[in-house]
Amino acid sequence: MTDMENKAVAYNVEQGVATLTMQSAPVNALSRAVRVGLIEGIEAALADDSVNAIVVTSSLPIFSGGADISEFSGGDLSPMLPEVLDKIENATKPVVAVLPGPAFGGGLEVALACHHRITFAGNKVGLPEVNLGILPGAGGTQRLPRLADVQTALSMIVTGRPTSVVKLPGVFDKISDKPEHLLDDTKQYLASLTESNAIKRTSEITLSMNEEVQGVFDAVTAQTKKASKGFFAPLKCIEAVKGAYTLAFEDGLKHEGKLFMACMNTPQARAQQHFFFAERAAGHVSDFDKSTPERSIEKVAIIGAGTMGGGIAMNFANAGIPVTMLELKPEALEKGLALIRKNYENSAKKGKLTQDQVESRMALLSGTTSYDDLSEVDLVIEAVFEKMEVKKTVFSTLDKVCKPGAILASNTSTLDIDEIATATSRPEDVIGLHFFSPANVMKLLEVVKADKTSSEVIKTCMKMAKRIKKVAVLVGVCFGFVGNRMIEPYGREANRLLLEGATPEQVDRVLTEFGMPMGPFTMGDMAGLDIGYYVRQSRQEYISHDPAYGAVADRLVEMGRNGLKTGRGAYNYEPGSRVPIPDPEVLEIAKQEANRLGVKQRSDISDEEILVRVMYTLINEGACILEEGIAAKSSDIDVIYVYGYGFPVYRGGPMQYADEVGLGTILDKLTTYRDQLGDYGKMWLQPSELLIKLAQENASFKNYSK
Q: Which residues contact 343 (CB under 8 A, 6 or more apart)?
A: 310, 314, 440
DSSP state of 601: P
Q: Does residue number 280 form part of the binding site for ligand 3H9 (CB under 6 A)?
A: yes
Q: Does residue number 112 form part of the binding site for ligand 3H9 (CB under 6 A)?
A: no
| Distance in Å, CB of 372 to ligand 3H9, minimum | 40
| Distance in Å, CB of 81 to ligand 3H9, minimum | 4
Residue closer to ligand 3H9 (CB basis): 131 or 412 = 131
| Distance in Å, CB of 258 to ligand 3H9, minimum | 13
> In whole angstroms, what is the distance from residue 11 CA to residue 103 CA?
20
Report CA-CA distances (Å) from 311 to 307, 340, 398, 438, 439.
6, 7, 21, 6, 5
> In whole angstroms, what is the distance from residue 498 CA to residue 521 CA?
10
Residues 203-232 binding ligand 3H9 (CB under 6 A) are none
Q: Does residue number 132 form part of the binding site for ligand 3H9 (CB under 6 A)?
A: yes
> In whole angstroms, what is the distance from residue 501 CA to residue 492 CA?
15
* 368 phi, psi to nearest 5 deg: -150, 160
CB-facing half-sphere around the CA of 125: CA atoms within 13 A: 33
CB under 6 A: which stretch of 128-136, 453-461, 565-573, 582-590 binds ligand 3H9?
Answer: 128-136
CB under 6 A: which stretch of 7-15, 48-56, 104-112, 413-421 binds ligand 3H9?
Answer: 104-112
Q: Does residue number 367 form part of the binding site for ligand 3H9 (CB under 6 A)?
A: no
Residue closer to ligand 3H9 (CB basis): 62 or 271 = 62
Q: Does residue number 243 form part of the binding site for ligand 3H9 (CB under 6 A)?
A: no
H or E stretch at 407 = strand 407-410
109 is catalytic: yes
**Which listed residue (8, 18, 45, 104) binds ligand 3H9 by CB under 6 A?**
104
DSSP state of 298: -
- Active-site option among 14, 71, 129, 627: 129
Through-space distance between the first and last CA atoms of the chain, rounded to whole angstroms:
52
Q: Does residue number 27 form part of the binding site for ligand 3H9 (CB under 6 A)?
A: yes
Q: Residue 172 carries which side chain, given as an amino acid letter?
A: F
Residue least distant from ligand 3H9 (Cβ): 105
Residue closer to ligand 3H9 (CB basis): 68 or 530 = 68
Query: Hey, what's the torsion of the CAs at 421, 425, 427, 430, to 10 degrees?
Result: -70
Report CA-CA distances (Å) from 386 to 30, 293, 328, 534, 569.
50, 32, 17, 11, 23
CB under 6 A: which stretch of 129-137, 340-348, 562-570, 695-703 binds ligand 3H9?
Answer: 129-137
Residue closer to ligand 3H9 (CB basis): 132 or 423 = 132
Q: Which residues contact 171 (CB under 8 A, 6 or more apart)?
A: 112, 117, 125, 144, 147, 148, 165
Residue closer to ligand 3H9 (CB basis): 152 or 437 = 152
Q: Does residue number 640 form part of the binding site for ligand 3H9 (CB under 6 A)?
A: no
Distance of CA 181 to the CA centre of its chain: 36
Residues 133-152 binding ligand 3H9 (CB under 6 A) are 136-138, 140
Residues 66-85 binding ligand 3H9 (CB under 6 A) are 66-70, 81
**Which listed residue (94, 105, 491, 519) binds ligand 3H9 by CB under 6 A?**
105
Cβ pair 420, 391 in contact under 8 A: yes
Starting at the earlier edge strand, list the strands of the sheet with 471-475.
365-368, 323-326, 300-303, 379-382, 407-410, 430-435, 444-448, 471-475
488 is catalytic: no
Strand-pairing partners, residue 55, are 19, 96
CB under 6 A: which stretch of 22-30, 83-91, 328-336, 365-373 binds ligand 3H9?
Answer: 22-30
Q: Does residue number 654 form part of the binding site for ligand 3H9 (CB under 6 A)?
A: no
Q: Residue 378 carries which side chain, given as an amino acid letter?
A: D
| Distance in Å, CB of 308 to ligand 3H9, minimum | 28
**Which listed residue (37, 87, 115, 129) binds ligand 3H9 by CB under 6 A?**
129
Q: Does residue number 86 form part of the binding site for ligand 3H9 (CB under 6 A)?
A: no
> In whole angstroms, what is the distance from residue 507 CA to residue 490 CA?
11
Q: Which residues are identified as catalytic? A: 109, 129
| Footprint of ligand 3H9 (CB under 6 A) | 26-27, 29, 62, 65-70, 81, 104-106, 109, 128-129, 132, 136-138, 140, 277, 280
